[in-house]
Amino acid sequence: MSRLGIYASQNYPRVTNSYESIQTVTLSSNQPSITFSSIPSTFKHLQIRAVSAGDTNTNVRLRFNGDTASNYATHGIQAGAGYGTSVYTNSSTSASSIMLFDQQLGNSTNFNATVTDVLDYTSTSKNKTIRTLNGVKGGTGGFMYFQSGLWFKTPEAVTSITIYPFTGNFYTYTTFALYGIKG
Amino acid sequence: MAGSTYTPIATYTVPSAQANYTFTSIPATYTDLVLISNIATSASTGVSVQFNGDTASNYQFMYTFGDGTTPQFGNVTSTSQADVIYSNTTISTQITNFMSYSNTSVRKTYVSRFNPTTQFTGFYSGEWASTAAISSIKLFTGSGTISTGSTFTLYGIAAA
């Protein structure tokens, strides 16, 4: 680091104690899903940060509190090499999960990078919304997703989150980390 | 729980126009890195990264953006740098997530949101085809220089 960089770094902002690690799941073998359970209600928002890959060309989905009914909606923009059209949109308004991203190019080498925000997850008066930024790059292809999701079951606090590939497994080394953000 | 994280590692404020800046000696004690860039440049340009001084064709990235007309997409393979920022002469704030940067079992990936004010908004995703831990990040413009007063802050996030 240059001298100027050192000087500047001495004035960097201090930790605000508003962002905390809650739980991390790192797979030591291929698994069909990961679940964060017993999520504490002491934060305002949640963030999920992940690197993941799978053994099947499929999309990766999310559910709250084990709800498998048609209480989810997804809208998004996706782009990628390999699609007939490079950029297009996707939507579903009455699905049994939120679609986060596609791991079609996911394999044991090229991992998806994903950051998902779950907003106001403890509210018992508002439906839950999420947003996801994702990308995977491998060889000459790749995909990118910018998604929003809605869980419109009668509002309840989110206490568990399950993430799974629609078919197949997540590969070893896949990691999902859950963080809490205070408000 | 691991407790509080999202820890500032270093901040750099550009003292006078320059074409590049390098964060060095990045500790391997975190899980992810987040770069917050408050940046303007002398030209409309992509700003690229190289990790650990690697100048070989080990990078690939994609981008998509919208400017009110037809959305655009680009796919760049086997190149010697990866774009993470797009900037112009108006200051803008952009965020880049470098995932699992210290994990030596996986290649390094990132997602980045860019929004050069007055032009468009979009995002990047890319990969460095290396499993080495990232210990340095060089940022450099494709053309022109980074303007005086631009700041880069690098944060570390530690998973439980």
- Which residues are CB-neighbours of B106 under 8 A, at least 6 positions away? A51, A111, A173, B100, B131
Residue B23 maps to a domain: yes
Residue B1 maps to a domain: no
Please check whether residue B95 touches A, CB under 8 A: no
Are A51 and B103 inside 8 Å of each other by CB? Answer: yes
pLDDT at A89: 87
Q: Which of A18, A137, A146, A181 to mutate to test the interface with B (most CBs of B within 10 A)?
A: A137
B86-102 per-position pLDDT tens digit: 999 999 999 999 999 99
Centroid of chain to Cα A178:
9
Residue B112 maps to a domain: yes
Tokens 């079992």: give the residue: B105
Are A18 and B72 inside 8 Å of each other by CB? Answer: no
Strand partners, A149: A74, A130
B105-142 per-position pLDDT tens digit: 999 999 999 999 889 999 999 999 999 999 999 999 99
Are B62 and A142 inside 8 Å of each other by CB? Answer: yes
Are A111 and B109 inside 8 Å of each other by CB? Answer: yes
**Greatest C-alpha distance within chain A:** 58
Chain B: residue nearest A179 by CA? B159
Report the CATH number that the domain containing residue A44 is assigned in CATH: 2.60.120
Residue A7 maps to a domain: no
Mean pLDDT over B11-38 rounds to 98
> Residues 3-42, chain B: which have Cβ within 8 Å of A?
3-13, 15, 21-25, 31-32
Q: Is the dihedral of CA B126, B127, B128, B134 positive or negative?
A: positive
Residue B92 maps to a domain: yes
Amino acid at B88: N
Residue B41 maps to a domain: yes
* Residue A44 belongs to domain spanning: 18-181
Are B5 and A22 inside 8 Å of each other by CB? Answer: no
Residue B130 maps to a domain: yes
- Mean pLDDT by 10-residue block, N- to C-terminus, for chain A (183 residues)? 43 68 96 97 97 91 98 94 75 95 79 96 97 87 92 97 96 96 93
Residue A146 maps to a domain: yes
Residue B21 maps to a domain: yes
As a whole number of angstroms, the distance between CA B106 and CA B85 comes to: 23
Tokens 């999420």: give the residue: A130
For A140, the closest of B31, B77, B124 (CB atoms) is B77
pLDDT at A103: 85
- Residue B40 φ/ψ, nearest 5 degrees: -135, 155
Are B126 and A137 inside 8 Å of each other by CB? Answer: yes
B39-84 per-position pLDDT tens digit: 999 999 999 999 999 999 999 999 999 999 988 999 999 999 999 9
H or E stretch at A137:
strand A128-138
Please check whether residue A166 touches B, CB under 8 A: no
* Residue B33 belongs to domain spanning: 7-157
| Percentage of chain A modeled with pLDDT above 70 | 87
pTM score of the predicted model: 0.93
Q: How far is B2 from chain A (nearest CA, A)?
A: 5
DSSP 8-class letter at B113: E
Please check whether residue A140 touches B, CB under 8 A: yes
Report the CATH number that the domain containing residue B59 is assigned in CATH: 2.60.120
pLDDT at A60: 96
pLDDT at A6: 43
For A21, the closest of B1, B75, B105 (CB atoms) is B1
- Which residues are CB-neighbours of B41 under 8 A, at least 6 positions away? B47, B87, B88, B89, B141, B144, B145, B146, B147, B150
Strand partners, A48: A116, A178
How many folded domains does chain B comprise? Answer: 1
How many folded domains does chain A comprise? Answer: 1
Q: Is B34 exposed, middle or buried (0-12, 13-18, 19+ CB in 10 A)?
A: buried
pLDDT at A109: 82
First-to-final CA distance of chain B: 6
CB-based contact A110:A138 (threshold 8 Å): yes
